[in-house]
Copies of this chain bind each other. A is one copy, B any other.
Amino acid sequence: MLGTHADLVVEAGDDCAVCRLPGTELDQVFTTDPVIEGVHFERGEVPERVGNKAVGRVLSDIAAMGAQPQWILVNVAAPPELEFQYLEKIYAGMSALCERFGAVIIGGDLAKGDTLELHVFGTGLLPEKAARLRSGARAGDDLLVTGPLGGSFASGRHLDFTPRVPEGIFLRESGLVNAMMDVSDGLATDLRHILSRSGVGAALSGAEIPVNGTLEQALYDGEDFELLLTSPAAPELQKQWRAAFGTDLPIIGKITENPGLLELDGEIIEAKAFEHFASE
């Protein structure tokens, strides 16, 4: 259902669409995410946290390409009885996160709806052909993750998380990353996107996966918004990462030659759908 165009480099299905910016040496990335009451947050949630999540999801997609966030637009549908002050606090949460990462809210619309919904649209910039894609993984790459996974809903972290914007740019600039995406639907589900788009398999080492809670949660909970990446030179990348951020960048597995095959400690693990109406 998507269109085609000579300037469209990467279609939806990755974290962002990637488009050539004519007359420049830049590519521009585009993404959009909904945050809906009753689906992504509960009624009465602290409004600044709702705003943080709404913009954070979009900045995380942009980070996953290795791009610098640029412009944000926000459509809000809200029941007429909702207090305007509540909306203002959502905007405050969105603005705070934008400011932190150099993004700017430049527009949007406010309409009447049955349920409070935020639809956030974002763009980013990066050097042409530099975007890190889900399709870039090669057999033999190590698989790494920028932080612990699991328990995001239970802990409330799904509302307060920090998108890995400088980390994504650093990883892209290192020249040592083949594939990258953000973990929004759980490690097992998201990793399958890399496998199918790259035509490879993966073997995870359970003991190496940094977890919040259980390994099961790390595999299936979702909403972690850490970056998952593959590298053909992981030890060098880990060294540079420690120098830049002072933390570890753990190797959690290896990319294999078996298309679509996902293994955990030598056992095949089957797909398990994350509870979404439809998701990417």
Contact = CB atoms under 8 A, between A and B. Distances in A.
Given A3-B98, A73-B30, A73-B121, A17 B107 contact: yes
Contacts of A73: 17, 30-32, 121
Contact of A108 (B32, B74, B111): B32
Contact of A31 (B21, B104, B107, B113): B107
A114 interface: yes
Contacts of A23: 23-26
Nearest to A90: B1
A272 interface: no
A39 B25 CA distance: 43
| Most chain B beta carbons < 10 A, residue from A23, A26, A77 | A77
Nearest to A280: B109
A162 interface: no
User: How many chain copies?
Assistant: 2
A3 B105 CA distance: 5
A114 to B, nearest CB: 5
Contacts of A88: 1
A105 B4 CA distance: 8
A182 to B, nearest CB: 14
Given A39-B111, A106-B17, A75 B2 contact: no
B112 A277 contact: yes
Interface residues of A, number: 58
| Most chain B beta carbons < 10 A, residue from A21, A24, A107 | A107
A95 B3 contact: yes
Interface stretch (A8-16, A205-213, A227-235, A260-268): A8-16
Given A1-B88, A34-B111, A111-B34, A106 B71 contact: no
Given A4-B104, A19-B71, A110-B278, 18 more contacts: A2-B104, A3-B95, A8-B106, A12-B107, A12-B108, A21-B21, A23-B25, A30-B106, A32-B73, A32-B121, A34-B119, A80-B277, A111-B278, A112-B276, A114-B115, A115-B115, A121-B121, A123-B123
